[in-house]
Amino acid sequence: MSSAPSKRGSGVTPVIEVNDVHKSFGQDEVLKGVSIMAYRGEVIALIGSSGSGKSTMLRCINLLETPTRGTLRLLDQEIVFPQHGAQRQPIDRKKLRRLRARLAMVFQNFNLWPHMTLEANIMEAPIQVLRKSRAEARDEAQAWLSRVGLYAHRHAYPDTLSGGQQQRGAIARALAMSPEVLLFDEPTSALDPELVGEVLEVIRNLADEGRTMIIVTHEMKFAAEVADRVIFLNQGVIEAEGYPEAVFGATTSDRLRQFMGSAYPLNGEQQ
């Protein structure tokens, strides 16, 4: 039901297939059966109010969170949850790590490592995980830093950089893994308003390159502009899904209308 065709998406099999995923923290069920398909080259925006489960959903895709039940198909690797059931085939940890590296994640709080220079931050995972040589990793790190406009700051430590610069650095760090999918977890939420633009610009360029991306965001205008498909999550279930124009113009969901109207008065009628 979630395989709506989209502008950029191509290929028959999805790169990521989330099937009826549930996730509970203790008694609290945050995801109540979510299914998402992402095709190669597609940009998906996950929107919803805080507590709707959108970040948890994204973190499940990178396996930072383990779904309580459901199925994930990540780049041809199928994982059925719960992992320790009677007839389940538990995925081995090495495979899991290799998988994670191909689904690079960008966090709300950047999470650059403060004890390393920007360049070292970006070289770290390619050296330690992909076993690249230092020289190769450095060349690539410098290329990625140029891409996000931070080449001049490559020897700077993260805490000397602005939030926008740190986030662009974090994007470069993710890109250095040559991931097949980029996952963004509210990449601009921790930024001062005047720094949001530079980060969105980088993400927009990546979208134009045809990268597969899932973006959890509060930037509705940006989502409408960049995303091929918008998924609106509410209280752990998908409330609306489709082309941005369709979702943002939707009148079918009261909750969506409420959400759009209250937090983000972007719709013309709201003015």
Partner 1 sequence: MPSFHLPPHRIVLLLIGLVIIGLMAINMRWDWIPAYRADILAGLRLTLVLLVTTSVAGFLLAVPLGLAQAAGPRPLAWLARGYCTLIRGTPLLLQLWLLYYGLGSLFPYLPGLRDSWLWPYLSEPWLYAFLALTLSFAGYEGEIMRGAFARVPKGELEAARSLGMHPLTTLRRIWLPRAVRRVLPTLNGELIIQLKATPLVATIAAVDMYAVFGRIRQETYIVYEPLLLMALLYLVLAGLITLAFHAVESRRSH
- Residues in touch with partner 1 (CB under 8 A): 62, 64, 97-105, 107, 109, 111-116, 124-125, 128-129, 157, 159, 170, 173-174, 177
Q: Which residue has the tokens 């960008």?
A: 106
Beta strand spans in 148-242 (E): 181-185, 212-216, 229-234, 237-242
Question: Which residue's CB is nearer to partner 1, number 115 or number 134?
Answer: 115
Residue 118 beta carbon to partner 1: minimum distance, rounded to whole angstroms: 12
- In angstroms, give the least distance from the CB of 24 to partner 1: 20
131 vs 135, which CB is nearer to partner 1? 131
- Pairing between β-strand 237-242 and β-strand 229-234 as defined by DSSP bridges: antiparallel
Considering the complex, what minimum distance in angstroms separates the CB of residue 187 from partner 1?
A: 13
- Measured CA to CA, the distance from residue 126 to residue 178 in angstroms comes to 9
Tokens representing 243 are 């082309």
Nearer to partner 1, 99 or 216 (CB): 99
Shortest reach from residue 93's CB to partner 1, in Å: 9
Q: How many CA atoms lie within 13 A of 64 on its CB side?
A: 14
By beta-carbon proximity to partner 1, the closer residue of 82 and 114 is 114
**By the 8 A CB rule, do 81 and 89 touch?**
no
